[in-house]
Amino acid sequence: MLEKKSFQANSLDTISSHLLQTQSMGTILRAYQHMVTIQTKDGDHLHIVNPTLGNGPRRIVLDPYPDEVFITLYPGMRVMFNPKYLHIDQTFFIQLQDAYLWTMPIVEKVELLRSNILSYLQACFQKIQFNDVLIDEHALTKQKIQQFFLKPSFANIASVLGLGSGSTPIGDDALCGYILSQRFLGRSPTLIHQLATEHFFQTTSVSQEMLNDVYHGFYSEVFIDWFKQLIHHPKLGIDEDILRLGGKSGAMILLSFYQFTIASLKEETYEHVFAYSR
Mean pLDDT for each consecutive 10-residue tract of the chain (278 residues)? 78 95 93 90 93 93 85 91 90 92 89 94 95 90 96 93 85 95 89 78 86 91 92 92 88 97 92 84
- Whole-number pLDDT of residue 118: 95
Strand partners, 82: 85
pLDDT of residue 2: 52
- The b-or-e profile of 65-89 (16+ CB within 10 A means b, else e) is beeeebeebeeebebebeeeebbbe
Last residue of a domain, one of 59, 79, 102: 102
Domain match, 14 and 32 both: yes
Q: What is the pLDDT of residue 1?
A: 44
Same domain, 174 and 73: no
Which of residues 36, 70, 102 is at a domain's end? 102
Q: What is the pLDDT of residue 269?
A: 83
Domain match, 49 and 118 both: no
Given 48, 81, 102, the domain boundary residue is 102
Phi then psi for residue 8, to 5 deg, are -115, 130
Helix (H, G, I), strand (E, B) or coil at 84: coil
- At 124 the pLDDT is 96
Q: Do 129 and 240 fall into the same domain?
A: yes
* Predicted local distance difference test score (pLDDT) of residue 145: 96
| The pLDDT of residue 168 | 83
- Pairs from 129-133 (Cβ < 8 Å, separation ≥ 24): 130/255, 132/251, 133/170, 133/248, 133/251, 133/252, 133/255
Domain span holding position 262: 109-276
Same domain for 73 and 115?
A: no
Provide the CA 258 distance to its chain's centre, in angstroms. Answer: 16
The predicted pLDDT at position 278 comes to: 64
Same domain, 44 and 135: no
Residue 42 neighbours by CB distance under 10 Å: 9
| 147 and 247 housed in the same domain | yes
192 and 251 together in one domain: yes
Tally of structural domains, the chain: 2
